[in-house]
Amino acid sequence: MLSIEPLELRMSAGARACQRYFDLSVGPGGDDPARPDKVVEALVWDDWSSSVYFALGHAIMRLVGCEVTLVAGDVEEEGLADGAGPVARLAITAWQSLASDGAGSLFVASGKQLRRIRLPESWQALEDGLGAAGGGGSSEAATGNSAAVEAVVSTLPFAAPADVEALTFAPPGPARGPDTDATCSGSGNSGAADSGGGCGGGSDGGWLVFTTRTALYRLPLPLPATVTAPPVPGLFDLSIVPQPLAGAEGQRGTRDGRGGAARFDHTDAVKADGAGNLYTVETWSRRVRRVLPDGAVTTLLPDISEQFYQLAILPNGHAALVSDRELRLVNLGLQPLLPRPSAAGAAARQPPPRSLRADLGALLDAQPDGTSDLAICVGERRFHVHRAILSARCDYFRQRLAGDAFEDARAAELELPDADPEAFALLLRWLYTGDAQVPDDRARAVAELADRLLLPDLCAAAQTAVAASVSADTVVDCLLWAWRYCESRGNGDADACGGDGGSSRHSGGGGGSSSCTGGRAGGGDGGFGRLLGRLKRWYVCHHERVAAQAGDSRTRLAAAAPHLMVELVDAVLARGGRGGLQRPGSPE
């Protein structure tokens, strides 16, 4: 008799808030409001990281051994915001909405959008199944810095013809030749599948296959590098146009055939076998179909007498069909898609590849090692640095260290007064490596210092960290800080300085100038006016939560910046008291 024993899962630091969803003593659903209403869905095995990934609500989770880690999104909060790890927002609505390409990326369906989740390099598994940096255990333990191992979510720059119902990875099909003609032969019209390169050809990295209710499409893998950044506004990225494989959009039916001649009736699941063939489950017509790499569609099970909506191909070649009431195994003699051998094991035995960023970061970490030619004193701390790097990377230091400008050019030690040492340490790492993970509690200090030292990119990154971490408890303090900074720059009116806080009948603060001249990093106001506008909008959209949680901070806001408080009250009234759910970094 089959025995089932539950796993005793433990939550990593970033996933502890999700513990209640795995409490078997509570269980999902029911009338008890304490019962969580989210269940585990869309389980996917990923060869690249030797991990299981699954959807929980609107979040993607990772399971390694018995440890669960939050990869991206938020269980309760739905959205379409790109970003790193928990900052990103997902909208997961389909049963089979998650797929792995086995090369370091996951793909998630959100309506007509496909989202890519790039996994951290430290999660890549070796031949022994352990990650290169602790991937076999806690994904945060290797570096001691969870921000260093966050996944990154981006939206592919195209929209599917209709809502995506399911997606999966399909390996490259067999090459066309004398021995494969029988497998790849398909009768009927040439169809749209011809554009995909014939019988399985045209993509050495396999395919990302997705379905709508009535058609199948595919994207060749690996995706081009252009999808890692948004396309130029107004232009389409033609390199990732999905290729129609079988079926016709909006035309329901059960007809077999090739390419556009075939018809589908509400495809809820799709999986690939080891030969690159696809298998679909259609809920409404209750049938299982096979789709060859050339788009030829054949019905394997015409009437399965149950509305199955999930499908898996087991290592023994059986198809596993899942409904709300039944798990059915069908022996179809399929070739399973087995884990692919990874090159990571062989690579791990070699010295890690060198990079300029890593080498300069190691040089900074090694100080003082006798190579530095300058010390910068910030508070009680002395930072040993290299003049050439600071001059090349920072206009402020280039001017201060110029040979004919200041006595500082010949000094062995410089003072940087009125600066936060911890913020300067992060700024210094940015100068050496071009990257720095800005903690929430240091974001304001880093933004001010970066603006002062003429580093607009770092200033913008720190401002983004401020906006992304704002809450009902902190929004008033953030507003006062941003407003005071704009006032000190003579730019109290965020709207006049390019802020996106919406129209205003009052100046952005206590009568500050709306001039945007005389700025430093990032333009007239260093981006602080725009940040102030985002914080205003967050306050207005969440005013009910702020009123309940902000305590006496609103009294301080009214006393310190009465014009700003009046502007916020007017904006709340203009909205008719409606509460919003928008995050400061999300699109309107």
* Token output for 301: 């099970």
Residue 206 maps to a domain: yes
Residue 2 maps to a domain: yes
Each residue's pLDDT tens digit, 376-429: 999 999 999 999 999 999 999 998 888 665 666 678 889 999 999 999 999 999
Q: What is the pTM of this model?
A: 0.52
Tell me, yes or no, whether 15 and 94 share the same domain: yes
Other CB atoms within a 10 A radius of the CB of residue 547 amount to 11
Tell me, yes or no, whether 347 and 210 share the same domain: yes
Average pLDDT of the residues of the chain: 76
Tell me, yes or no, whether 279 and 321 share the same domain: yes
Residue where a domain stops, chosen among 124, 155, 186:
155
Contact (CB, 8 A) for 73 and 89: yes
Q: What share of the chain is helix, strand, coil (3-state, %, to 5)?
A: 30, 20, 50
For the chain, counts of helices (H) and of strands (E):
13, 25
Residue 244 maps to a domain: yes
Each residue's pLDDT tens digit, 27-75: 444 455 554 566 778 888 888 888 999 988 889 999 888 888 889 998 8
Cα 477 to Cα 123: distance, rounded to the nearest angstrom: 37
Q: Tell me the pairing of strands 40-46 and 10-11.
A: unpaired
pLDDT at residue number 506: 34
What is the domain count for the chain? Answer: 3
* Token output for 412: 């062995």
Residue 418 maps to a domain: no
Residue where a domain stops, chosen among 122, 155, 188:
155
pLDDT at residue number 350: 63
Each residue's pLDDT tens digit, 448-459: 999 999 999 999
Tell me, yes or no, whether 279 and 250 share the same domain: yes
Tell me, yes or no, whether 75 and 204 share the same domain: no
Q: Give 173's DSSP letter.
A: P
Tell me, yes or no, whether 124 and 194 share the same domain: no
Residue 449 maps to a domain: no
Residue 393 maps to a domain: no
Question: What are 550's strand-pairing partners?
Answer: none
Tell me, yes or no, whether 42 and 65 share the same domain: yes
Tell me, yes or no, whether 148 and 9 share the same domain: yes
Torsion angle in degrees (nearest 10) through CA of 478, 484, 490, 492: 50
Displacement of CA 585 from its chain's centroid (Å): 13
What sign results for the dihedral spanned by CA atoms 574, 578, 583, 588?
Answer: negative
Enumerate residue ranges in the chain where pLDDT < 70: 1-38, 126-148, 173-204, 224-239, 339-352, 403-409, 490-526, 577-588
Tell me, yes or no, whether 265 and 342 share the same domain: yes
Q: Which residues contact 230 (CB under 8 A, 6 or more apart)?
A: 157
Question: What are 100's strand-pairing partners?
Answer: 106
Cα 48 to Cα 151: distance, rounded to the nearest angstrom: 14
Tell me, yes or no, whether 221 and 327 share the same domain: yes
Range of the domain at 572: 470-588
DSSP per-residue string spanning 413-427: EEE--S--HHHHHHH
Residue 278 maps to a domain: yes
* Token output for 358: 């890593």
Q: Which residues contact 297 (CB under 8 A, 6 or more apart)?
A: 246, 247, 256, 257, 258, 262, 264, 289, 290, 291
pLDDT at residue number 258: 94
Tell me, yes or no, whether 282 and 147 share the same domain: no
Residue 277 maps to a domain: yes
Residue where a domain stops, chosen among 325, 353, 381:
353
Question: What are 168's strand-pairing partners?
Answer: 209
Contact (CB, 8 A) for 461 and 438: yes
Tell me, yes or no, whether 199 and 99 share the same domain: no
Alpha carbons within 13 A on the beta-carbon side of 434: 7
Cα 496 to Cα 519: distance, rounded to the nearest angstrom: 13
Residue pointed to by tokens 């884990």: 339
